[in-house]
Structure 1
């Protein structure tokens, strides 16, 4: 089903409706969703996420690639990262999801939304609070070339003060990927300053980076917004 407007405009309509009629935002969102043909806003968002995740990134990746997956919240970046891992499993590869954001149960719910076979084709899920560059390198120390791992998400790798700065961790992971042929994907937040009116999808300049990362750290990127998916080569 084609939406009458991009998702960011529908969200804006919902916020205005909530303000004008003094109703909760979730009620306003559900009203907007019903006008679009969905029973609730969550169903509309889920449909959008499924649309984004339908794009397969795996054929465009080479051993040792560093992939950035960037989008604003609710636009499908986690789902497209999980879809990449599901495709890797189906291709006979090792696939690992390192997440500092979701529990194993929450991750499996998202996997089931993409693949009804669930655990049969699920990637390995790692939810340890200790996830960092060194943790990932140790965990994948014997992984064969072509292994695919996705880290969720880039901006909280150094949230704990006991962990090295983000730039150092990304440099370690880049060297590891080049040395071993493991493909590393990084789910990334996009800064609030991103303006969809200026560009249909974000770009590298829109990545939210409280701490700088090395120039040229990523070899590939995929940016998403309002159901549009744009993979690209960097450099």
Structure 2
């Protein structure tokens, strides 16, 4: 069933109406759902969840997944991560970008460059740019999140760059435990080692990750490797 607008836009409109009219949000959501042909918002949301986008990476993920986006600089790994967040918002999920690379304005600009059918989606994306981003910080921020929440971390290799933060291996294990307990999906943008040689194989793989500090690779469940416009999705564990 086609809605009059993407579900995230309907939800945002409901929040504005609730704030301006001081009507409880759940009542406004139900009213909008009725305008779309459903008795209640929960029925609308459930119906939309039953029709995942077949070409979306999101449809291949499950609650608790630990996903890698890996490639050399400029080959599209960040684009994949941001597209996952856009698809998550369109699926009425909470979507959060934790970035140690971008300013908030830079992140918004990148997201807006990917917006096509749903302009304004960047307004619904949570963008966290604190220098204190680490596993503990991320877990604290996502505390109370619903299962299916999607968070992308930009990027894996800088999580422990500051000496006062725990080793990368400890942080990834803590995030893995949290993902499984709560049902959050984590995506990690990751670098590929400079030793990767495209003349020997078309795409990098899990063994080509740049890991200056040890990480237990079996903690990751799925991965997207990109190079020269090609993308390969694969199971890791």
Range class of TM-score, shorter chain: 0.7 to 0.9
Distance in 2 (alpha carbons) for counterparts of 1:152 and 1:125: 11
Q: CA offsets per residue over residues 94-123 of structure 1, 9 Å max, x none?
A: 000000000011001111110051345641
Is 1:118 the counterpart of 2:120? The answer is yes
| Equivalent residue, structure 1, for 2:87 | 87
Q: CA offsets per residue over residues 24-62 of structure 1, 9 Å max, x none?
A: xxxxxxxxxxxxxxxxxxxxxxxxxxxxxxx63101000
How far off its partner does 1:157 sit? 0.1
Distance in 2 (alpha carbons) for counterparts of 1:168 and 1:148: 21
Is 1:180 the counterpart of 2:214? The answer is no
| Equivalent residue, structure 2, for 1:5 | none
Structure 1 residue ranges, 4+ long, deviating more than 4 angstroms after superposition: 119-122
- Partner of 1:168, secondary structure, is helix
For the Cα contact (< 8 Å) 1:81–1:185, is it kept in 2? yes
| Equivalent residue, structure 1, for 2:73 | 73
1:24-35 mapped onto 2 (5 Å cutoff): none
For the Cα contact (< 8 Å) 1:63–1:182, is it kept in 2? yes
| Equivalent residue, structure 2, for 1:233 | 235
How far off its partner does 1:220 sit? 0.4
Unaligned runs of 5+ in 2: 1-54
How far off its partner does 1:215 sit? 3.8
* TM-score normalised to structure 2 length: 0.74
Is 1:99 the counterpart of 2:106? The answer is no
| Equivalent residue, structure 2, for 1:42 | none
Q: CA offsets per residue over residues 114-167 of structure 1, 9 Å max, x none?
A: 005134564110000000000000000111000000000000000000000000
* TM-score normalised to structure 1 length: 0.75
CA RMSD of aligned residues (A): 1.1
